A and B are shown apart, each in its own frame.
Chain A
Amino acid sequence: MSQTQTAQSNYTGPIVVDPLTRIEGHLRVEVEVDNGIIKEARCCGTLFRGLETILKGRDPRDAQHFTQRTCGVCTYTHALATTRALEDAINKPIPANATYIRNLVLGQQFLHDHLVHFYHLHALDFVDVANALQADPAKTASIATSISPRKVKAEDFKQTQDKLKAFVESGQLGPFTNAYFLGGHPAYQLSPELNLLATHDYLLALRVQVEAARGMAVFGAKNPHVQFMVGGGVTCYEALTPERIAEFKDIYKKTRQFIEEVYFPDLLAVAKEYKNWAAYGGTTNFMAFGEFPVAGGERDLETRWLRPGVIYDRKIGEVQKFDPARIAEHVRHSWYVGAEAKTPYEGETNPSFTKMGDKDRYSWLKAPRYSDTAMETGPLAQVLVAYAQGHKTVKPLVDTVLKELGVDASALFSTLGRTGARCVETLAIASQMDTWFKEYENNIAKGDKKIVEDYPAPKNAKGVGFVNAPRGGLSHWLVTDGDARIGNFQLVVPTTWNLGPRDAKDVPGAAEQALVGTPVADPKRPVEILRTIHSFDPCIACAVHVIDGRTNEVHKFKVV
């Protein structure tokens, strides 16, 4: 297959994307373009963080109810990170069943999050939905059945086209409003048939994710917020019943089938047409916390199913051991007082806003560094670390993807590699969950029904909770005082690693590095910036939900 030419321009000047859509929260990206190529980038998180002001003085056992509200999507992972921080401070083990339950819910969250990311947050950067109307449904069906065992007919794709047509004619474009592909765009590279296939599966995935989300709630008592997590284990006794386990397993199996028979083949089909994107969007250093602790070893990072590790300068032959003490947060280019990097245990949040567009201090995000080095975290980092360690599930999957695409491992250091790694991570976790279900059921069958230990909140203690969340390495850092109340609490979230600003040495953050060298075909519709930024799956909490009616053309609200 000949490689597609990347669309180019000779534009020179600045581009500002504000806000970036399809992102949880609020993010602004400023780039300098020289003769059609990005030369410099600044990422600016514009929502103010400082959760410790809310948490100081509270009982640390209540903290998770606040931390999980910082994001609309990552509630579970924040609850888990806070609880692990508390357990680290308590310094005692938790029951095996608690770890099984946590792992299974986190696993299901990965399946849900990653498929939603691919289809609903990222696909529109590559898929021209409007162009799908030009496709031949019969040809689309034969492509679909050639890449997947699923049963799908020309009529199904015809129906999708009809639905899409009606949707476009209604004038309410919803998720496609202001999409860059409207009216045609030179950087979109798929055939009409692949555009139709991906659009069809976008709609299918909307329904599948509804089911997948139900799965997360089966152990969690049908509530969208996590109530069952405590320092010492979990409190969802219904999760021990055969009925609940069967219900969860059933949903898991359907989700897994979609991932294996639709998400993975679609990813490969789209990636084959975008192999030129293996040359753009790469970074150099990678850090993974690892995830899915072994039962009985919740707090041990090294024995996690996916192990932690650090890779410098793309040297996948030399994975370094991860050492939590090497993490510090910089504020030199952020809107906070001071210039000194601090360990999160001593982190402060003293805001000092300059102005929007300032090139010196330009973000509300801090800049976390590991050994004073900017790190990428997330699926690509975790998959690279696991690949380098010869992980028995991850390595064959990566090799399969590389072979299918006809590229070598260097292609992983790119936007395409990041998006592919997310699918590999999903597939690996989906297959492993089957084993965890079996181990969990066997453990219950042996008579172990324990899910929680009762531990008091510790006085004058410190603890950190590490989670490899779907978006990457998440850590919560807790310090308690002499009354066992919260003295300090810092969240270092994946998006600050990936989308944070420059540090005290003026070294750009991961995404700022990734954008450099990327061509922009149309400066008014810079889809190339979205491709790389979205490939990091950024999340700039706090999430808000206010309805803004002021931008309405006609104010017809009924005042009640």
Chain B
Amino acid sequence: MEDPRRTLILGVGNILLRDEGFGVRAVERLAREHLWPEGVRLLDGGTKGLLLMPDIMDCDLLVVLDVVLGPEAPGTFYRLEGEDLRRSLGFRDSMHQTDLQDTLIACDLAGHRPETIVLGMHPFDWTTLAAELTPEAEALLPAFCDKVLATLAALGIAPTSAA
């Protein structure tokens, strides 16, 4: 029996600010290169915050692809879940409309917070206004997508075929 859970793979970030758009570029690539089974949805969430609640509340497992500022060097891949995710803070304090953690808390308050895993890369540049990733981030995109696939595979979720 396949995993009956509804899964949402959600790329978030702002594609106008270089590597801020890394999660969106990753989900675009995963959607382009693979066919996914029914019950698995891939979505470019941009920076839509609370407006993503309809989609988030319709899933049981949420896999967020994002950029994460961690203790290691740019280009490091991180995985956050459970308490680690709860403790990490949104960008520059709490901006309640776009902040992902607050959106998840809002889902909780509204009645359904799915199990959540965040996979992210430490960005090289996320403050310059430009619609392309840095060359370094671009080069890491395939490896990052492989990590996403491996993480999903460990949960029993796999694409049905290459598109």
What is A's interface to B at a CB cutoff of 8 Å?
19, 21-26, 48, 50-51, 53-54, 66, 69-73, 75, 116, 120-121, 163, 167, 172, 174-175, 177-178, 203, 206-207, 209-211, 213-214, 217, 223-225, 542-560
Which of B46, B69, B105, B120 meets A550, CB within 8 Å?
B69
Give the secondary structure class of B's interface: mixed
Q: Are A66 and B16 in contact (CB under 8 A)?
A: yes
Q: Are B97 and A73 in contact (CB under 8 A)?
A: yes
Which of A75, A544, A549, A555 meets B20, CB within 8 Å?
A544
Which of A25, A51, A116, A172 meets B16, CB within 8 Å?
A51
- A19-B92, A217-B54, A549-B89 given. 9 additional CB < 8 A pairs? A25-B95, A206-B110, A211-B54, A546-B13, A547-B80, A547-B90, A547-B91, A548-B90, A559-B79
Q: Are B109 and A203 in contact (CB under 8 A)?
A: yes
Cβ–Cβ < 8 Å partners of B49 in chain A: 72-73, 543
Q: Smallest CB–CB gap between B119 and chain A, Å?
A: 7
A–B complex contacts, Cβ < 8 Å, 11 sampled: A19-B95, A54-B130, A69-B16, A70-B16, A72-B97, A224-B45, A545-B46, A549-B68, A549-B78, A559-B76, A560-B119
Which of B54, B67, B87, B101 meets A210, CB within 8 Å?
B54
Q: Are A543 and B131 in contact (CB under 8 A)?
A: no
**In the complex, per-residue mask of B13-35: 1 if CB is within 8 Å of any chain A CB, else 0:** 11111001001000000000000
What is B's interface to A at a CB cutoff of 8 Å?
12-17, 20, 23, 43-55, 57, 66-72, 76-80, 83-84, 86-98, 100-102, 105-106, 108-111, 118-120, 123, 126, 129-131, 147, 151
Which of B52, B76, B105 meets A224, CB within 8 Å?
B52
Q: Are B57 and A210 in contact (CB under 8 A)?
A: yes
Which of A51, A210, A556 meets B110, CB within 8 Å?
A210
Cβ–Cβ < 8 Å partners of B87 in chain A: 552-554
Q: Are B151 and A560 in contact (CB under 8 A)?
A: yes
Cβ–Cβ < 8 Å partners of A163 in chain B: 109
A167 and B109 contact, Cβ closer than 8 Å, known pairs A53-B129, A546-B69, A560-B77: yes
Which of A54, A178, A544, A558 meets B98, CB within 8 Å?
A544
Max chain A Cβ within 10 angstroms of own Cβ: one of B12, B23, B92, B119: B92
Which of A22, A225, A555 meets B70, CB within 8 Å?
A555
State in angstroms the CA–CA spacing of A207 and B53 once bound together.
9
Q: Smallest CB–CB gap between A527 and chain B, Å?
A: 16
Cβ–Cβ < 8 Å partners of B106 in chain A: 120, 174-175, 206
Q: Are A21 and B69 in contact (CB under 8 A)?
A: no
Cβ–Cβ < 8 Å partners of A214 in chain B: 54
**Nearest chain-A residue to B15 (Cβ)?**
A69
State in angstroms the CA–CA spacing of A50 and B16 once bound together.
11
Cβ–Cβ < 8 Å partners of B70 in chain A: 549-550, 555, 557, 559
Q: Are B105 and A19 in contact (CB under 8 A)?
A: no
A24 and B123 contact, Cβ closer than 8 Å, known pairs A206-B110, A548-B88: no
Q: Are A550 and B102 in contact (CB under 8 A)?
A: no
**Nearest chain-B residue to A58 (Cβ)?**
B131
Q: Smallest CB–CB gap between B121 and chain A, Å?
A: 10
Q: Are A546 and B68 in contact (CB under 8 A)?
A: yes
A560 and B98 contact, Cβ closer than 8 Å, known pairs A544-B126, A546-B66, A547-B120: no
